[in-house]
Amino acid sequence: MLGLLFLAVHLLLAALSPLVVPYDPVAFAGGAAFAPPSAAHLFGTDNLGRDVFTRTLLGGRVALLITLAGIGLAVAWGGLLGMVLGLVGGWLDEALMRLVDAMLAIPETIFLLLIAGIVGTDHVVLILALGFLYGVGVIRIARTATLTLVAQDFVLAARARGEHQHTIVLRELLPNVLDMLLVEGALRWSWMLLAFSALSFLGFGVAPPTPDWGVMIAQNRSTFGIAPWATLFPSAAIGSLIIGINLFVGVLAKAIGLDRVDGITV
Q: What is the pLDDT of residues 206-234, one digit of tens each?
A: 777 888 899 899 988 888 888 899 999 99
Predicted local confidence at residue 229, as pLDDT: 92
Predicted local confidence at residue 257, as pLDDT: 65
Predicted local confidence at residue 29, as pLDDT: 64
The pTM (predicted TM-score) of the whole model is 0.85
Tell me if 118 sits within 8 A of 168, measured CB to CB. no
Q: Cα separation of 155 and 149, whole Å?
A: 7
Tell me if 124 sits within 8 A of 210, measured CB to CB. no
Q: Does the pLDDT at position 261 exceed 60? A: no
Predicted local confidence at residue 107, as pLDDT: 87
Listed residue (68, 60, 2, 64) closest to 243, CA to CA: 2
Q: Does the pLDDT at position 183 exceed 90? A: no
C-alpha torsion angle, residues 188, 190, 191, 196 (rounded to 10): 120
Q: How confident is the model at residue 263 (pLDDT cuts 50, 70, 90)?
A: very low
Q: Cα separation of 192 and 108, whole Å?
A: 10
- 48-83: pLDDT as tens digits: 888 999 999 988 888 899 999 999 999 999 999 999
Of all residues in the chain, what percent carry a pLDDT higher than 70? 95
Predicted local confidence at residue 265, as pLDDT: 42
- 129-159: pLDDT as tens digits: 999 999 999 999 999 989 988 888 888 888 8
- Say which range, 125-129, 146-150, 260-264, has the weakest mean pLDDT: 260-264
Listed residue (208, 13, 177, 203) closest to 85, CA to CA: 177
Q: Return the exposure string of 98-108: e unless at least 16 CB atoms fall within 10 Å of the residue's CB, then b.
A: eebeeeeeeeb
Helices 174-202, 123-147: crossing angle, 10 deg rounding = 140
Q: Cα separation of 97 and 108, whole Å?
A: 18
- 80-89: pLDDT as tens digits: 999 999 988 8
Predicted local confidence at residue 264, as pLDDT: 42
Tell me if 227 sits within 8 A of 37, measured CB to CB. no
